[in-house]
A = this chain, B = another copy of it.
Amino acid sequence: VQPLPRQPRISREQVLEATLALAEERGLEAVSMRAVAARLEVTPMSLYHHVRNKQDLLDGLVERLLTELPIPDPSLPWDQRLAELAGSLRALAARHPDAFLMLLRRPADTPGALRAREAVYGALRDAGAPAELIPRLERLLSTFMIGFAASESGGRFALHDREALDGDLDWARSLITAALAGIR
């Protein structure tokens, strides 16, 4: 006997959309399978046809955020591109402090992660870094930028005002520029 085809009521897209909206409105802690389902006016169990489980739901959310990260215009000077990337990461972390931390908990091999990495690779190439050192440099740079944005949004830097943190990054930028000049 053939199973009856049925019009899908919701898609994975819609599930992630609802997850994002919920996280934006009430924070990540309010994101539960049941709450997402309620927002879609559907039974909790219905979600399991579109995501494997809650972890997969959260993974999908993080990947979505990463994909929406603004990538700087490649025609800009390389150091400005890095600075803009750092700024975008800070803005993303500020909007989603909890979800941002999950960047540290998944392999950086998703399309969204690749996209961001390529942007850093390009900047480093234009900075004149030797090709064989670029992946390593990218790892160090991204780790610092993500760690900084996570510290700021997570509250680790709560004692420091925005101005001091801006100064930290400006100074880091000059140190990095000097280091890159030393390598080249």
Residue A167 interfacial (CB < 8 Å): yes
Interface size class of A (residues with CB under 8 A): 20 to 34
Contact with B along A161-184 (1 / 0, CB 8 A): 000000110011001001100100
Main SS at interface, chain A: helix
Nearest-neighbour CB distance to chain B for A39, whole angstroms, equals: 25
| Count of chain copies | 2
Seed contacts A106-B156, A144-B144; 5 additional CB < 8 Å A-B pairs: A106-B155, A136-B167, A139-B157, A146-B147, A147-B148
Residues of A within 8 A of B (CB): 97, 101, 103-109, 136, 139-140, 143-144, 146-148, 150-151, 154-160, 167-168, 171-172, 175, 178-179, 182
